[in-house]
Amino acid sequence: MDITQLLGYVGAFVVGLVLGLSGGGGSIITVPVMVYLIGINPVTATAYSLFVVGSTSAIGAFQNFKKQLVDIKTAVIFAIPAFTVVYFTRRYLVPAIPETVFTIYDFEVTKDIFIMTFFAIIMFLASISMIRSKRDIANTNSNSTINIPFLIIIGIGVGLLTGIVGAGGGFLIIPALVLLAKLPMKKAIGTSLFIIAANSLIGFTGDLQSRTIDWSFLLVFTAISIIGIIVGVYSSKFISGTKLKRGFGWFTLIVAFYIIYRELL
C-alpha cells in the first residue's frame, strides 16, 4: 500500500467522522478520495460512494434513533421521492451518458470529466452550505406550517444529485428539514442521516446489474468510515460540530477548485 492509498483510507475515516458530527458534508469527499487517492474510475467511484455513504449513515441514523432524534414521518415524506429518483438515475440515466459528452474545439469532454466537473460544482455549493453555520440556518425566518410540497420537490432534486455524484446530499437535506419541516437542528441531523442512508443504499442497487463490484475493497473502506461515524456521533457531545463543519467547508471549497483545475486545465 503506497502513501496515497493510505491517505485514501484516512479519508474514509474523515467521511464518517464529519457525518457523525454534523449529519452531512463528509460524504462529499468520498468520490474525490476514491478517484484521486485510490485510483478508481469516476463512474465506479460514484457507485461505491453510495454504498459507503449509505452504510455509514445507517449506523449514525440508528444511534440517533435510539436518542429519539429521528423524525420518521418527515423522513419518509422526503425519502420516498428521493430514493426513487436515485434508483432510476443510477439504473438508467448514468449508463446512458455517452463516453464523449461534447467537444469544444480540440478539447473532448469525456464522461469522466463531465461527472467530476459536475461533482466539483456540487462540492462548491456544499462548501457554501457548510461554511454557513447551523445557527444561521436555524435563525432563518420561516412559516409555522410544514411545507410538504416543497419538501417533496427538494427530495426529488436531492435524489437526482445523489444519483449522479454519489454524495448523500446532507448539505441540502438539513436546511430543508429545518426550514420546511420545522425540525430542531439535532433532530434534523438525525433525520438527515436516515434519509441519506435510504437514498444511497437503494440507489446503489441500481448499479448491481451494470458493473462488477470489488467487495473486498468496498467493505474495508466502508468499515473504516463506520468507525469514523461512531466516533463522530459520540464526539458530538464534546466537539462543536458547527466550527468543524465550517472548517471542513473551506477544505471542500479548495478541493472543488482543485478538481476543476485538474479536469479542465
| Phi–psi pair at 167, nearest 5 degrees | -100, 155
Q: With 60 as the cut, is the pLDDT of residue 121 above it?
A: yes
> Tell me: the pLDDT tens digits for 16-64?
887 777 666 667 788 889 999 999 999 899 999 899 989 988 988 898 8
- Asked if pLDDT for residue 136 goes beyond 60, the answer is no
Q: Which parts of the chain are beta strand (E)? A: 100-104, 107-110
Residue 73, beta-bridge partner list: none
Report which of 11, 32, 63, 62 is spatially closest to residue 222, judged by C-alpha positions. Answer: 11
- Is the pLDDT at 78 greater than 90? The verdict is yes
Helices and strands: H and E segment counts in the chain: 12, 2
Predicted TM-score of the model (pTM): 0.83
pLDDT digits (tens, 9 = 90+) for 193-246: 899 899 999 989 988 877 889 999 999 999 999 998 888 878 877 776 667 777
Contact call for residues 84 and 92 (beta carbons, < 8 A) = no
Grid coordinates in use for 10? 484516512
- DSSP conformational letter for 102: E
> Which pLDDT score is estimated for 214?
92
Mean pLDDT on 174-183: 82
- What was the pLDDT predicted at 143? 53
User: Whose grid coordinates read 442512508?
Assistant: 197
Q: Quick check: 138 pLDDT over 60? A: no
Over the stretch 148-177, which tens digit does the pLDDT of each residue have?
888 899 899 889 988 888 877 777 788 888
Q: What is the DSSP string of 205-262?
A: HTTTTTS---HHHHHHHHHHHHHHHHHHHHHTTTS-HHHHHHHHHHHHHHHHHHHHHH
Domain boundaries, given as residue ranges, for the chain: 3-264
Reduce the DSSP state of residue 181 to 3 states and report it: coil
